[in-house]
Amino acid sequence: MKLKTIASALIIAGALTGCEQGGETAAEKEVNLETKEQKLSYIFGQNIGGQFKAEGVEVDVDAFSEGVSDALSDAEPRLKQEDVLAVLEEFQQEQISQREAENAEAAEKNKAEGEAFLAENAKKEGVVTTESGLQYQIVEEGTGPTPASSDTVEVHYTGTLLDGTEFDSSYRRGVPATFGVDQVIPGWTEALQLMKEGAKWKLFIPSSLAYGPGGTGGPIGPNQTLIFDVELLDASVDGSEEESAETESKE
């Protein structure tokens, strides 16, 4: 929080000091970028300005400049504390309402696209649709045991969105993932209990069996259908370790 405050101050102190000097605006007067302070101010200005633009926040540069200037010079604030709180609360509520509206629109769009995709995908050769709506395609059969809901498995996987965007991959990290069968999204939990160790499957998971209308707050948006390439390396990590320990004790 302190870094953001300092950054904002430096933007105005450095990049905006020439806004109205001699009747010239910032756009009409080129700011020197010779000293370290000037360069830092410009960098901070670019970063914060980019954040404002990305968030869709409209800023009055003159008022913004005066606010930082008053703070740096210890001038008396022009707005009372109760006015500040009221304005900030109104702004925050507007931001929340805007995000909710955007999420609702995205959720509706993603749900429709997912349903259309799954309807067409179900017609493809080799694609199996379960009662829950999960779809899978067997790429390579496994020959080992099938995990139970209480097992811990080891898998390699790649996850993508319908447009092909990769949002996660254990292959890319170079390390298999280990987790409990009942500790993942419902689509995974169901699929793993149908697979045999050594199998490679392609999963098509509807949003209702993935992250639903909430998404992840990151690359996976609301109501997005997900595609996973999954390789079940070990159907029961705990079981394998116990079996190995028993074998060693017998020896």
Average pLDDT over residues 59-84: 86
**Rounded-to-integer distance, Cα 180 and Cα 154, Å:** 9
Q: Are 4 and 38 in contact (CB under 8 A)?
A: no
Mean per-residue pLDDT over the chain, rounded: 85
| Integer Cα distance of 48 and 11 in angstroms | 8
Comparing 151 with 52, which gets the higher pLDDT? 151
pLDDT of residue 216: 94
Residue 99 has pLDDT above 50, yes or no: yes
| Contact indicator for 147, 195 with CB cutoff of 8 Å | yes
Per residue in 193-227, pLDDT (tens digit) is: 999 999 999 999 999 999 999 999 889 999 999 99
Distance CA 204, CA 116 (A): 13
Best CATH choice for the domain 106-242 from the list 1.20.1600.10, 3.40.190.10, 3.10.50.40, 3.30.110.30: 3.10.50.40
Residue 54 is predicted with a pLDDT of: 84
By percentage, how much of the chain surpasses pLDDT 70? 83
The answer to whether the beta carbons of residues 167 and 161 sit under 8 Å apart is yes
CA-closest candidate to residue 201, choices 231, 239, 222, 157? 231
CB 228 within 8 A of CB 205: yes
Active site positions, annotated: 157, 167-168, 185, 211, 228
Tokens 């993935």 — which residue? 210
Q: What is the DSSP string of 198-244?
A: T-EEEEEE-GGGTTGGG--SSSS-TT--EEEEEEEEES-HHHHHHHH
What does the pLDDT read at residue 9? 44
**Phi and psi of 30, rounded to 5°?**
-80, 125
What letter would DSSP give residue 174? Answer: T
Domain boundaries, the chain: 2-78, 106-242
Please count the CA atoms within 13 angstroms of the CA of 73 that sit on its side-chain side: 11
